[in-house]
Amino acid sequence: MPGRFVYWMNVSVDMKIEHAPGENGGGDWMRIGESLHREFNARARALSQMVQGRKVYEIMEAFWPGARDDASLPGFLREYGEIWTSTPKVLVSRTRVDAGHDTRVVGRDGDAVAALAELRARADGDIGIGGATVATQLLRAGLLDEVMLFVHPVILGTGRALFDDLDAPVELDLLENRAFEQGVTLHRYAVRGARQLA
């Protein structure tokens, strides 16, 4: 299967991914129970690679490697720790020079999109995207293939948006809808106009 970039995020009904600075991907507005997290695990395990912006990567780096072997945590969290640490990753950063946990760094030269385009062209399977800045850059470049949203039943009103400002609307095609506990819904969309691999 050719490489495809899939932007995967938890969002509010008004498409915010963070309500207040410092929530670090875990605001109390999210309703993540065990069955939903097991869905995250299954979808993450199916990825061939992950690409994360610096902020998202450092949030993940601070918790999941330790969670992998933390007997005080439930098994589904330890499982995600194993998935995150063992999946090949790309960190997009202008400031980091290295990273552990099977991660390589791109973007120090300021041209992360070119490096990611090459990654997509050479990849086999879906590549998970974490981070609004990276996802917006890929969308603008025509390289984002899919948006996978886990929508939590809350309106935040303010906070970090799912995407940065775009010059024009981007049309999507619905691929999948599912409902989970506590009113969380999954919406998967194909991005119309994504550049096809040669």
Residues 138-147 have pLDDT tens digits of: 999 999 999 9
CB-based burial, 70-88: b 16+ in 10 Å, e otherwise:
eeeeeebbbbbbbbbbebe
Domain spans in the chain, listed from the N-terminal domain onward: 4-191
Residues 119-131 have pLDDT tens digits of: 999 999 999 999 9
Q: Angle 10-15-18 (CA atoms, 0-180°, nearest 5)?
A: 60
Q: What is the CATH number of domain 4-191?
A: 3.40.430.10
Residues 81-98 have pLDDT tens digits of: 999 999 999 999 999 989
Residues 52-63 have pLDDT tens digits of: 999 999 999 999
pTM score, two decimals? Answer: 0.94
